[in-house]
Chains A and B, each alone.
Chain A
Amino acid sequence: MNITVKLFFLALFALLWAGCATPPPYVQSTGVDSSPGRPTVYEDVNSPGQVAGIGLESQDLASMTDAMVGDMLATPVLANRKISPRIIIDSEYFRNESSTRINKNIITDRLRVNLNRASQGRMVFVGRHYSDMVEKERELKRTKQGAEGATVVDAGTLEKTKSTYGGDFRLGGRITTLDAVNTVSGLASRTHQIIYEMVDLETGEIVWSGIYDFKKTARDDIIYR
């Protein structure tokens, strides 16, 4: 093979090897490299994570409680009274009748905390789930002992009250689901319906209601626990 042919193949190879130096697809026209980095361990609670199924998940919890807080604060009977109503929000009357395993407190706690922070005194929250703690302390403040009749602990700095707060309204609610499974494809579908009701503790009237529902379909291979 003479030198010309060698040169020909060498040039051809060099040209093919160099190719057209187009930038990688993740480099934008602005020059910003937007290629994905190492996945983080932490995930956004407002978005579905890597482990997602058909149950009630963090993003549902966040958007559901957010919507309910906004709605309750826009309801005059709860958020625009001359005297701020006393409200009890806990999981005592919030029932889970669904096929999703969930700790109900994660819903009612988030609701109570967000409402308490946002209402700025427009609502007063009674910690009924802490009532035994309050009662124990009140008893210690009032129980006298010894010959001098001193109480076990002093009165503290707050004014003494005859009794603790009674509630005006209490949250009730229910989580229910509709399930369907395709035995051929293995796909499962679950519709969640979560209702919230604020009940007048004197008359039993439901003064506010909220509903949140969603349907998810996926291969049911996620275990909620």
Chain B
Amino acid sequence: MKGMMKTGFMTIFAGLFFVGCATTDPCVNILQEKPLAPGIAMNSVTIIDTSLYYEMVGATYCDGVRIAAPTTAEAAAQQGTVARYKVTVEKTDSSRTPTGTMEVLTILRNHTNFPLQIEGRTQFFDRNKSPVEGMSAWQRVQLPPKSIGTYKIASTKRDEVEFFHIEIREGR
């Protein structure tokens, strides 16, 4: 009886240790959230809501230390960037209005089967890439299922406006 108890105890104890918390497995490949690139990419659109667009990149960890991660977009593509998205940017463009202000637009596509509301706002920059006016207010755009919608805004300043950066979030 005592021997059986001892054997059972040792078996269960070993089993528990064996199952354990699997966090110390060396050299594990995992996907992690892709952080926003530092700096502002001029004349571009950033979808800031992870509920709308979410990218993950692969990385290799050994004993909790990150030993390999893609450093370029090409490498990320090779190592497998996984994107989960509801909305994508189809086109971004800018033009001058008859009065010399800058008008920017971005066409967005709703990939889901339900209507989405998104909001966009724009910061305009001068040639030194400094903001020339305040950030615009959020403008709401309705995106029907599987369809496109256009966010459009004009600057208030004229020739000094050279660049823009658009931010998109889910409507609140």
Contact = CB atoms under 8 A, between A and B. Distances in A.
A20 B23 CA distance: 9
A75 B13 contact: no
Contacts of B137: 46, 59, 62-63, 65-66
B99 A47 contact: no
A124 interface: no
A70 B9 contact: no
A48 B137 CA distance: 12
10 contacts: A2-B2, A4-B2, A19-B21, A29-B33, A63-B139, A66-B137, A66-B139, A70-B101, A118-B133, A118-B157
B105 interface: no
Nearest to B136: A66
B103 A74 contact: yes
B140 interface: yes
Given A4-B6, A5-B5, A76 B99 contact: yes
A70 B99 CA distance: 11
Contact of B33 (A21, A28, A66): A28
A65 to B, nearest CB: 8
Interface residues of A, number: 38
Nearest to A60: B140
A65 B121 CA distance: 14
Given A66-B139, A71-B154, A118-B156, A7 B9 contact: yes
Interface in A114-147: 114, 118-119, 122
B172 A11 contact: no
A85 B6 CA distance: 98
Given A2-B2, A47-B172, A114-B156, 19 more contacts: A4-B9, A8-B12, A29-B33, A30-B33, A62-B137, A62-B138, A63-B140, A69-B156, A70-B101, A70-B155, A73-B101, A74-B98, A74-B154, A75-B99, A76-B99, A80-B99, A80-B100, A118-B133, A118-B156
A11 B154 CA distance: 68
Nearest to A21: B21
B29 interface: no
B39 interface: no
A212 B2 CA distance: 84
Interface residues of B, number: 32
B148 interface: no
A20 B24 CA distance: 12
Interface of A: 2, 4-5, 7-8, 11-12, 15, 19-22, 28-30, 46-48, 59, 62-63, 65-67, 69-71, 73-76, 79-80, 114, 118-119, 122, 214
A150 B146 CA distance: 77
Contacts of A122: 99
Nearest to A65: B137
Interface in B1-56: 2, 5-6, 8-9, 12-13, 16, 21, 23, 32-33, 35
B97 interface: yes
B82 interface: no
B153 interface: yes
A110 to B, nearest CB: 10
Contacts of A59: 137-138
A7 B2 CA distance: 13
Contacts of B156: 69-70, 73, 114, 118-119
Contacts of A48: 172
B9 A46 contact: no
A30 B35 contact: yes
A12 B12 contact: yes
B99 A74 contact: yes
Contacts of A4: 2, 5-6, 9
